[in-house]
Amino acid sequence: MPPIWAATDCFDKRGVGLFKDSKWSKEIISLQKPNGMWGHFHSLSEPNKKSPITTEQALRRLSILGYDIEDGCIAKAVAYMSDCLSDKTLIPERPEKLHNWDIFTDLMLATWIRRFTKDNDSANKIAGKWASLITSAFDKGTYNHVVYESSYFDIFGMKPKGGRLVDFVTFYQVSLISDCLDENIEATLFDYIMNHESGIYYICNGPLTALPDSFMSKQACAYIAAMELIVSYRRNRHKLHFVADWLNLNKSANGMWDMGAVAKNYIHFPLSDDWRNRRIRESDCSYRIQKLVDKIMEVSE
């Protein structure tokens, strides 16, 4: 049986997404600068029509639309970020007071590089540092903040600005080290992230063990984004079966998913050019959610 979305105009007969040819991707690519960047670098907030798109926003949206390292716009952006990571060039931002800016910049750049390729020594080195830090903090089977602070100083050679550490349960660290930990540390960290009261910063608020109150909501869209991130911890996917059950319970009578117009945040949706046709909206929602369900239910080797 063909996939439930195959009958729409958004997919060819093989079920391959055509979102890379959408008006959304064409508009973003047209704004890319010759050196591979877009506007400022750092921002994962919703797009602001009054401001140029940031490099992070562009990479996030293009990735969702199906672009990868084989595409010229992504390859050019990765080369730009690699130059920033090796100090050949600088991102065009003022340092933020909250962070140690050098450490945070390296973290951002390495995360985005590794989301497209694991074949970058500089980014892998940064990932290794954060993996070592997390391993030290969770080495005894639970999180130890005192050890985290001392290990942070040992690994990065400096104390955090303001005398405190920024929480590590953010999009960057969660993404960066998903494939860098041994089995026991990964399992302990995974449980810590799932139960973290504040959720994953930049992605979703609240503990991930608590399902959204409403499926047709911005909350649910953000929750699914958090699941799309944490499902990369392959050896712990079985702990997300309750999420797959919740998603399947929210299928429409026609066997498709529909998150409603409220899901149109110009980050994750729309994928297709136009949502005035409800069937197209259902197709977009079903494409995204079925991919997540498949990953959750995939048996890890």
Instruction: Examine the pLDDT at 10 and tell me if it is beyond 70.
Output: no
Give the tens place of pLDDT for each residue, 208-222. Answer: 999 999 999 999 999
User: Closest Cα to residue 243, out of 297, 173, 175, 206?
Assistant: 297
86, 51, 101, 34 alpha-carbon torsion, rounded to 10°: 10
pLDDT band at 94 (very low <50, low <70, confident <90, very high): confident
Cα gap 154→133, rounded to integer Å: 9
Total-model pTM:
0.90
Ramachandran sector of residue 36 (left: φ over 0; alpha: ψ -120 to 50; beta: rest): left
User: Closest Cα to residue 34, out of 89, 87, 85, 97?
Assistant: 89
Mapped onto helix, strand or coil, the DSSP state of residue 190 is helix
Mapped onto helix, strand or coil, the DSSP state of residue 76 is helix
Burial label for 145, CB within 10 Å (0-12, 13-18, 19+), is exposed
Give the mean pLDDT of 161-173: 78
Domain locations in the chain as residue ranges: 8-93, 100-210, 229-301
Looking at residue 160, what DSSP letter applies? P
